[in-house]
């Protein structure tokens, strides 16, 4: 049950390329809520640390970068300081680095306060790996959004090609499988279906269908908590 004194939260978790980011952003826009792409924060740490030549094994330096970043989401753009890095952080190389550095508890802890700061009126839609299980356990609605590995690989392939990046379907399948295993087995905040979460498999759903379903669930949860 959510704390009525705090702005409401819709927490959407799920594996890489499940569509949770697109769905979450559209739901936030429809409700007029703030939006938190927590995965982008790890990708930002990945990009910033790569620029400084810091290894994904160096938890101490990575956590310092995470704690000092100036991040904002503006009109669909992801800003690191005054730089729009929306496309730079979406490369597969940065994504793989992000998955590796996310296993460090120090990095995750450094990003906790930053993520909590996004919880403002009138509400927040947050997507990631541990939004419902760790960051916002009192979320009004918890959704675990997933899809088959094949469907996710195809989506990621189309996204990368559309952005002008090279991509190989076989490599994407292997990479997504590896990321799933790493995210689900890590010791700190593993990817799990949180208690009270509703599972939504989008393998055969359009984006609009997925958004509509989440909106219906939120409307129902709002009525029950009133």
pLDDT, tens digit, 9 for 90 and up, residues 135-164? 999 999 999 999 999 999 999 899 889 888
Examine the pLDDT at 1 and tell me if it is beyond 60.
no
Question: How is the beta sheet containing 141-146 ordered, strand by strand?
Answer: 34-37, 124-128, 9-13, 141-146, 198-201
Above 70 in pLDDT, residue 94?
A: yes
| Encoded tokens for 107 | 């990095």
DSSP assignment letter at 164: T
Q: What is the mean pLDDT of the chain?
A: 91
Q: Which residue has the tokens 């190989």?
A: 168
Q: Assign 3 a pLDDT band (cuts: 50, 70, 90).
A: low
Average pLDDT over residues 159-170: 88
Q: What percent of the chain has pLDDT over 70?
A: 98
Question: How far apart are alpha carbons 19 and 207 in whole angstroms?
Answer: 8
Distance CA 123, CA 35 (A): 9
What class, spelled out in words, does domain 9-225 have in CATH? alpha beta
Give the ranges where the chain is alpha helix by DSSP (H). 20-31, 38-51, 59-68, 92-101, 105-116, 149-162, 169-185, 207-225
| pLDDT value, residue 226 | 62
Indicate the DSSP class of residue 192. Answer: -
pLDDT of 4 reads 65
**Cβ-defined contacts of 169-178 (< 8 Å, 24+):** 171/92, 172/92, 173/149, 175/92, 175/96, 176/15, 176/16, 176/17, 176/149, 176/152, 177/149
How do residues 29-69 score in pLDDT, each as one tens digit? 999 999 999 989 999 999 999 999 999 999 999 999 999 99
User: Once rounded to an integer, what is the mean pLDDT over residues 116-132?
Assistant: 94
Residues 64-78, mean pLDDT to the nearest whole number: 88
- Model confidence at 20, pLDDT cuts 50, 70, 90, reads very high
pLDDT of the residue at 188: 72
pTM equals: 0.84
Confidence check: pLDDT of 123 > 50: yes
Q: What is the pLDDT of residue 2?
A: 46
Q: What is the mean pLDDT of residues 195-222?
A: 96
């Amino acid at each position: 049950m959510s704390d009525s004194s705090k702005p409401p939260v819709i927490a959407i978790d799920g594996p890489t390329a499940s569509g949770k980011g697109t769905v979450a952003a559209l739901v936030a826009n429809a409700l007029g809520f703030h939006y938190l792409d927590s995965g982008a924060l790890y990708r930002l740490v990945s990009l910033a640390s790569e620029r400084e030549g810091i290894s994904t094994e160096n938890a101490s330096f990575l956590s310092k970068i995470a704690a000092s970043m100036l991040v904002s989401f503006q009109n669909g753009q992801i800003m690191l300081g005054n730089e729009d890095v929306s496309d730079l952080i979406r490369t597969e190389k940065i994504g793989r680095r992000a998955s590796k550095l996310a296993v460090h508890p120090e990095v995750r802890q450094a990003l906790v306060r930053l993520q909590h700061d996004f919880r403002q009126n009138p509400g927040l839609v947050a997507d990631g790996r541990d939004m419902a299980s760790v960051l916002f356990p009192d979320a009004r609605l918890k959704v675990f959004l997933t899809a088959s590995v094949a469907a996710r690989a195809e989506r990621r392939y189309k996204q990368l090609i559309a952005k002008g990046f090279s991509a190989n379907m076989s490599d994407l399948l292997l990479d997504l499988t590896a990321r799933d295993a790493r995210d689900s087995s890590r010791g700190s905040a593993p990817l799990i279906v949180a208690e009270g979460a509703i599972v939504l498999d989008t393998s055969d759903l359009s984006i609009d269908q997925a958004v509509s379903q989440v909106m219906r669930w939120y409307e129902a949860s709002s009525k029950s908590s009133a």
